[in-house]
Structure 1
Amino acid sequence: MSNSVETPVSNRASLVFLSITLLTFLAASSAPTPLYHLYQETLQFSAATLTLIFGVYALSLLAALLTVGSLSDHLGRRPVIFAALLLDIGAMLLFILADSAALLIAARALQGFATGMATSVLGATLLDNDNRKGPLINSLAPLLGMACGGLGSGLLVEFAPHPMQLVYWILFGLLVLQALFVWRLPETVSAQPGALASLRPTLHVPPQARRALWLSLPVDVAVWAVGGFYLSLAPSLVRAATGSTSNLIGGVLVAVLTLSGALAIFTLRNRPGERVLRLGAALLATGVSLILLAVHSASLPLFLFATLVAGSGFGSGFLGALRSVLPLALPHERAGLMAAFYVLSYLAFCLPALLAGNLSHHFGLIATTDGYAAMLIGLSLGALLMLSWRRPARDLVV
């Protein structure tokens, strides 16, 4: 442990700083979503290139989780947080300067690596500071961050000048301030040998957490597949199905999905993990079914309501998975387990959406959505049955 002696005040300040920093990373990750159609119109690239710009972020994030995801268990938390902040600052500069699809791809790749590094180390540091509030903050921050980034960026695109740069300048300023402050945090782990060896791509799941991880995985896959769809194809789907032309629609959809998820997390924060998982699976299946109904009835209000229901399933499913798995790790296993958890989550986030983006070129967006939704409904109902038939709920409650 570090030589710093934490008081309750410094611990609370650390929690606030870590939460805001995690929110900033996730807000930055969703900020480009309302801008995608402007990039397409201005830079004249194809839908296939748009799918690549979305996908390279998630793939780069996975690369970070697989390589540097547990690095802070060996070097300490502060230097790894600082490195992630520097990388994301560089990504914001690339976005500001982007005048080609190649620069956008480079910006998203760098941002993905920075976010992958940040989510594992910040998640572990939150658990170091408070093992009770840490899982709750880790559940809320991604959803609130994506809501702030999507909606905030959408509002700036609609109403502010310089829509393709302003949001990145704001994020740049926040990240610089956080990089200056991070060294004031108390270090929560001591240096450990094996830093270079930890860079080998691997997934580290402690033995005591493996059963809980596999039981919660189907729900976690389903909720992140919904998230990937919303951040890539849902704005285009709403335009195709309802004829909406608003620049705000992409940001609004992301905000409705993630804010309803955050509300579900806060409401269910004290419920047993397995019950929350079952509720998440049921709500997700219901919400996706309603999305299908909204698409085929061309109803924007029903689409927003369906997003609200699906978002509640997103939040409750994500919370149930986190509460079932993360507290089972020992302090020097936390960053590695966070990295493994997010690797599986972001595989579900990017691969189905990338597949759907490619299939939509051949079968159309509506037909592809039908198949995507059927997969999600089947996965959610299958997870619900599995959780109902396996060992009683008390075995999964942490």
Structure 2
Amino acid sequence: MASVTALRSRRRLPVLGRRGAFRLHASTLVALLAASSAPTPVYALYQAAWHFSAMTLTVVFSAYVLALLVALLTAGTLSDHLGRRPVLAGALLAEAVAMAVSAAAQGVPELIAGRSLQGLATGVATSAAGAALLDFEAPDRPGRAAVANGIMPVAGMAVGVLASTALVQYAPAPTRTVYLLLLVLFIAQAAAVRLTPETARTESGTWRPIRLLHLLHLLHLLRPTITVAPASQPGLALAAPGIVAAWALGGFYSSLGPSLARLIAPHAAHATGGLVFFTLTAAAGLAGHAARALPARTVSLAGAALLIPGALLTLAAPHLHSLLALFAGTALAGAGFGGVTQGALRLVLRPAAPGERAGSLATYYALSYLAMSIPVVLAGLLTNLYGLQASVALYGATVVALTLTGLIRAAHLPHKA
């Protein structure tokens, strides 16, 4: 009996130390957001094969985002209660299943099903992985986890869209290959998560054989909630307008960016559409990394200000018939996106206590993806009714107005906010 107990204890021992666990969870965020952006270059192939409209495209895109929102609002704090390891490992396995569904899709309904499951899994996984980054932050490098939470997601989106663009251009069966590669990656990461130490103070008895009381407790945890650490609320209030404007622009470039590139240059290579979103996310990652040592408030507001010329130049690109203008505007918007994301996450996460991290991060992502999804659906509807060019004009004008409102409001807030 003693030998069996010793064997079980050895099996429970974590293999990865603090540094290895930090890197694993950072790579998990990269993979999750790479999977979210990977379909962007593939959408043109789906449209050509299945003959659906821009409105249908935005519905497919929003199915992922709305499912992610549901997960963030209901399960965003699960890892604070049940433990980082079981929640993240389970979410990554669900992500792998979603990749299999998307790879096997033969039409729009299956694609929506795959993206919806992916959204649910991503919502659970991102809050757990982001909170784990804070848990594994080295004591001698404070602030590194908040920086990683800001940079890794946009880096992941850049990697995902670039890799998918290359697969569309050169690989056989690109609508399947990209998902199958991600499926293997998520299974490997789910296995690796089990080798990390548990950092959340889990509630006693949570994973014992399920009884009615435990089931009711789990259902109570899954009720829709918005949780922000009290110390983080002023920072979120300051950054909220910029967050909404930045993620609304991100949703536009992700879903309709390839269509805008084709409108400007109908005979350009398929890769051009994917490179629009890559430009946005690459610029965001570089800007976030460059600004990591600057004050969070300054970074957030400067990023919001950069959204204005980015949106205006993108708005002018169809009238100028210029891909250069489109990519320049996208790069400016991307730098603004990176600044807003970097600054906002530091404002929200740094003041949060360990038990408040997953909930605060989930609320940030819920606000972000809500801002990303609803405007995109409206843009798809406007595109169907009035054309892409009119939709771009209204979208850009709305983002500019929202950003200006946020900057004016921030100028009147106390600096300590």
Sort the TM-score into its range (normalised by shorter chain). over 0.9
Within the candidate set 112, 119, 123, 2:119 is matched to 112
Amino acid at match of 2:409: M
Alpha-carbon distance in 2 for matches of 1:256, 1:309 = 9
TM-score, with length taken from structure 1:
0.95
C-alpha deviation, 1:389, in angstroms: 2.1
Give runs of ≥4 in structure 1 deviating > 6 Å: 3-7
Alpha-carbon distance in 2 for matches of 1:329, 1:23 = 23
Alpha-carbon distance in 1 for matches of 2:260, 2:43 = 14
Alpha-carbon distance in 2 for matches of 1:385, 1:242 = 37
Match of 2:225 in 1: 202
C-alpha deviation, 1:195, in angstroms: 4.2
Amino acid at match of 1:262: G
- Judge conservation of contact 1:238–1:244 (CA < 8 Å) in 2: no
Match of 1:354 in 2: 377
Match of 2:103 in 1: 96
- Judge conservation of contact 1:61–1:116 (CA < 8 Å) in 2: yes
Alpha-carbon distance in 2 for matches of 1:157, 1:83 = 30
> Is residue 174 of structure 2 the alignment partner of residue 163 of structure 1?
yes
> Is residue 149 of structure 2 the alignment partner of residue 138 of structure 1?
yes
Match of 1:261 in 2: 284
Within the candidate set 138, 154, 177, 2:165 is matched to 154
Q: 1:226-375 to 2 correspondence within 5 Å?
A: 226-375=249-398
Alpha-carbon distance in 1 for matches of 2:14, 2:191 = 20
Alpha-carbon distance in 2 for matches of 1:301, 1:241 = 10
Alpha-carbon distance in 1 for matches of 2:413, 2:334 = 26
Matched residue SS, 1:165? helix
- Judge conservation of contact 1:150–1:250 (CA < 8 Å) in 2: no
- Judge conservation of contact 1:273–1:320 (CA < 8 Å) in 2: yes
- Judge conservation of contact 2:37–2:161 (CA < 8 Å) in 1: yes
Alpha-carbon distance in 1 for matches of 2:412, 2:54 = 43
- Judge conservation of contact 1:74–1:195 (CA < 8 Å) in 2: no
Amino acid at match of 1:173: V
Alpha-carbon distance in 2 for matches of 1:137, 1:44 = 40
- Judge conservation of contact 1:73–1:192 (CA < 8 Å) in 2: no
- Judge conservation of contact 2:262–2:273 (CA < 8 Å) in 1: no
C-alpha deviation, 1:211, in angstroms: 1.9
Alpha-carbon distance in 2 for matches of 1:192, 1:336 = 16
Aligned residues: 392
Quick check: 207-216 or 267-276, which moved more?
A: 207-216
Structure 2 residue runs of 5 or longer lacking an equivalent are 1-9, 205-216
- Judge conservation of contact 1:31–1:150 (CA < 8 Å) in 2: yes
Change (3 A) 1:308 1:113: same
Match of 2:80 in 1: 73
Alpha-carbon distance in 2 for matches of 1:292, 1:47 = 18
C-alpha deviation, 1:250, in angstroms: 2.4
Change (3 A) 1:132 1:195: farther
> Is residue 35 of structure 2 the alignment partner of residue 28 of structure 1?
yes
> Is residue 233 of structure 2 the alignment partner of residue 222 of structure 1?
no
Amino acid at match of 1:266: H
- Judge conservation of contact 2:135–2:354 (CA < 8 Å) in 1: yes
Deviations 1:254-280 (A, max 9, x none): 111011111111111011111111211
C-alpha deviation, 1:206, in angstroms: 2.1
Amino acid at match of 1:292: L
Matched residue SS, 1:324? helix
TM-score, with length taken from structure 2:
0.91
- Judge conservation of contact 2:127–2:362 (CA < 8 Å) in 1: yes
- Judge conservation of contact 2:14–2:196 (CA < 8 Å) in 1: no
Alpha-carbon distance in 2 for matches of 1:389, 1:5 = 52
Quick check: 77-86 or 294-303, which moved more?
A: 294-303
Match of 2:407 in 1: 384
Alpha-carbon distance in 1 for matches of 2:175, 2:158 = 18
Quick check: 272-281 or 69-78, which moved more?
A: 272-281
Match of 2:91 in 1: 84
Amino acid at match of 1:308: A
Amino acid at match of 2:179: Y
Match of 2:134 in 1: 127
- Judge conservation of contact 2:287–2:338 (CA < 8 Å) in 1: yes
Amino acid at match of 1:250: G
Amino acid at match of 1:257: L
Within the candidate set 176, 179, 195, 2:187 is matched to 176
Alpha-carbon distance in 1 for matches of 2:59, 2:46 = 13
Q: 1:11-50 to 2 correspondence within 5 Å?
A: 11-50=18-57
C-alpha deviation, 1:44, in angstroms: 3.0
Structure 1 residue runs of 5 or longer lacking an equivalent are none
Within the candidate set 65, 71, 75, 1:64 is matched to 71
Alpha-carbon distance in 2 for matches of 1:224, 1:176 = 29
Q: Give the number of the structure whose alpha-carbon radius of gyration is greater.
A: 2
Change (3 A) 1:366 1:241: same
- Judge conservation of contact 2:14–2:195 (CA < 8 Å) in 1: no
C-alpha deviation, 1:45, in angstroms: 2.9
Amino acid at match of 1:55: S
Match of 2:196 in 1: 185
- Judge conservation of contact 1:75–1:195 (CA < 8 Å) in 2: no
Deviations 1:305-360 (A, max 9, x none): 11111100000011111111111211111111111111111000111111111111
C-alpha deviation, 1:151, in angstroms: 1.1
